[in-house]
Each structure stands twice: as structure tokens, then as C-alpha cells.
Amino acid sequence: MIPVRFSTHDLAPRDQFAAWSSWFDTVFDVASHEPDKGFLAESTVWTFGGFGLSHVKAPSLRASRSNALVRRNPVDHWVITLGQHVTTGLGGGVSLNVPPRIPFVVSLGREMVSQRAHDERLQLYLPRDSFGDLAPVLDAMQGQALDKPLGKLLGDYIGLLQRNASELSQADLPRLTNAVRSMVLACIAPTVDHSIHATSLIDLSRREKARQVIERHLRQPSLGPATLCREMGMSRTQLYRLLHDEGGVARFIQRRRLLQSYAELSDPLNRRSITVIAETLCFQDASSFSRAFRQEFGMTPRDVRAAWSTGQALALPSDTDPDAEFTTLRQCLGRF
């Protein structure tokens, strides 16, 4: 999918905030403390047919939809927002005080005010026409922080959508809309039926969460099941079951480290020795690193470094195991 992008970075500072306000005209009224001093912001919007997704990076601002604005532009979408900083204000008659990295629901069909600091936000737009069957669930959750484990998992899933958006095609869209509906129901109104229907998406989101935790601790020798269980809020049994198709926990961690080593060896500006790269990524020694690297990629670390240093273009190895079940969002969509 090709998104629509808008940025103020190429404008003169005095024109930036006015351009940003115009971009949101009739949907939100936006206000800034010092609009004349520059407003570097950017928006990326994906339209998936039945719903939309936006990624917004902007300075501190106040966004609102008054009753007059709602009457003037009666777009009636629910918005599930995931921000990196605290959001305060009013949504659907409920006071907003949402912690960082916790999703929350508001409706564009009702008066709302949102105040936040410089932030980077993902916003999932669910039109009432396409998701009318979710109305009782979403209306009941307006203005509420989805701070339970499944609510946080929904935030991870929204991030997964953003990262995979460019790989999706028009043919994926009908299934994608059904998948989003199933995931929202499973996370906001959990029942046995909802959870069973969204099992593949839930597992994919949890594996993505595991990947993020591993990336943060990639160079720490203590990284293992205990770290993953603690940060993901899972038991060891749940973790082992989740990563069984990836070859297990240790295999999943090792693959992330090998992929990072491949990236570093492919960087012509990285002058560190192979031994140092292996040590910083917690391999016992250069020999064991080389064996694992060759088994993973079919070539040695020296082969990769030599190829890139002479300008040869080597294909980056796949980040997924083609024999594993549902390792990508596109594979998951086959279920919907």
C-alpha cells in the first residue's frame, strides 16, 4: 500500500503551523502555544478500504472537535490511539488521562479535546459504517485507557499494522478488515469465541512483542526466558508455546543476534573486527559464532564482509522461517 504523506519540514517556520492546521481542517481544530516559531510535523496515512491508519509526529499541541465542528463535518469514526507520551483532555464526555504507550478509544462523532506534549502517535480509524457491529463495545470504551494485558497487545498489533503496511496489496484488504475486527473484539471485549477467532493474530502480535524485547536487550548476556517473561507478562509455559514454531526461545534469540551481526558486517563503515562483533552480541567465541552464522546464512562472516567491502550486493536473508506458521501478517490474513 502506498500511503499519503504530509510534512511541514520543507516550509518556512512561520508557515508550518498554518499548513498543519489546514491538513486537519474540518476534522480537528489544532492549537499550539507558539505557532509562529515553527512547527516541524509529519503525517502518514494508509487507507485500507474499510478502515485507516495514521502515523503522526508533531510538537506539543491541542486537538479538539467541538459540537459545532461535529455538526459541520459529521464523520463518525472511532479512533484507537497509541501515543508515546501522556494524553489528557476529554473524550466522549469522559476525562482523558492516558499513560504513555497505552491505547485508548474516542469517537469523532462526539465532542473531544486532546492535549499532549511533543509526540509520535499511531491512530487506527474505524468507520462506523464498516464496524457498526462493534458499536456497543467501542462506545462503551470511549475515553478509557486500554491498560489491561490484552489492551496493550492491541497497541502492539496496531504497531505491527504500521510496519507491514507497505507490503500489503489491494487483494489483502477485505481479509485485513476482518482481521482487524477480530483483533479489536478479542482485545477489547474478550470472550472465548473472540479469542479463538483471533488466535493467529494474537500470537503474531506476541511474537512481535518478543522481538521488540529482544532487540532492547540484544547485547545483554543475561537475556533469556526470564527477561522475556517479565517484560511480556507471560509465564514460561506460555512463552515456550508461543515460540515453539520458531525453534524455541534460545533459537529465536540467537536468530535476532545473527541478523544483527549480518547487518553490522554488511555496513562498510563498521570497522570492528568479527571477533568484537561476536563478543558484543554475546557469542561465546569467534569459532562458535562463525559456525552458527554459516548454518544460518550459508556463508561465513568473512564472506559477507568481503562481499560488501568490494561492492557486491548480497541479498539480506529473510527475517522469517518459511516453514513456521503465521510468521507474517500477510500469512495470517489467509485465515480471515
Give every CB contact of residue 144 below 8 A, 6+ residues apart in sequence.
94, 104, 105
Per-residue pLDDT of the chain (336 residues; tens, 9 = 90+): 788 999 999 999 999 999 999 998 888 999 998 888 899 999 999 999 889 999 999 999 999 999 899 888 888 899 999 999 999 988 777 888 999 999 999 999 889 999 998 999 999 999 998 898 899 999 989 888 999 989 999 999 999 999 999 888 888 888 899 999 999 999 998 888 888 888 888 898 999 899 999 999 999 999 999 999 999 989 999 999 999 988 999 999 999 999 999 999 988 888 899 999 999 999 999 999 999 999 999 999 999 988 877 766 566 555 544 334 445 666 656 665
Residues in the chain: 336
* Distance of alpha carbon 283 from alpha carbon 299, whole angstroms: 17
| Whether 154 and 15 share a structural domain | yes
Of the candidates 172, 197, 222, which is a domain's last residue? Answer: 197
Residue 320 in contact with residue 328, Cβ under 8 Å?
Answer: yes
* Distance of alpha carbon 209 from alpha carbon 146, whole angstroms: 17
Number of structural domains, the chain? 2
Residue 282 in contact with residue 220, Cβ under 8 Å?
Answer: yes
Residue 102 belongs to domain spanning = 4-197
* Distance of alpha carbon 169 from alpha carbon 33, whole angstroms: 41
Residue 104 in contact with residue 91, Cβ under 8 Å?
Answer: yes
Q: How close are the terminal C-alpha atoms of the chain, in Å? A: 19
Residue 10 in contact with residue 40, Cβ under 8 Å?
Answer: no
Residue 37 carries which DSSP code? Answer: G
* Distance of alpha carbon 115 from alpha carbon 135, whole angstroms: 25
Residue 73's nearest CA partner among 122, 37, 108 is: 108
| Whether 112 and 151 share a structural domain | yes
- Give counts: helices (H), strands (E), the chain: 14, 11
pLDDT recorded at residue 170 = 87
Residue 317 carries which DSSP code? Answer: P
Q: What CATH code is carried by the domain that includes residue 247?
A: 1.10.10.60
Of the candidates 162, 197, 232, which is a domain's last residue? Answer: 197
Q: How far is CA 144 from the centre of its chain?
A: 20
Residue 148 carries which DSSP code? Answer: S
* Distance of alpha carbon 336 from alpha carbon 319, whole angstroms: 24
pLDDT recorded at residue 195 = 82
Q: What CATH code is carried by the domain that includes residue 57?
A: 2.60.120.10
pLDDT recorded at residue 104 = 94
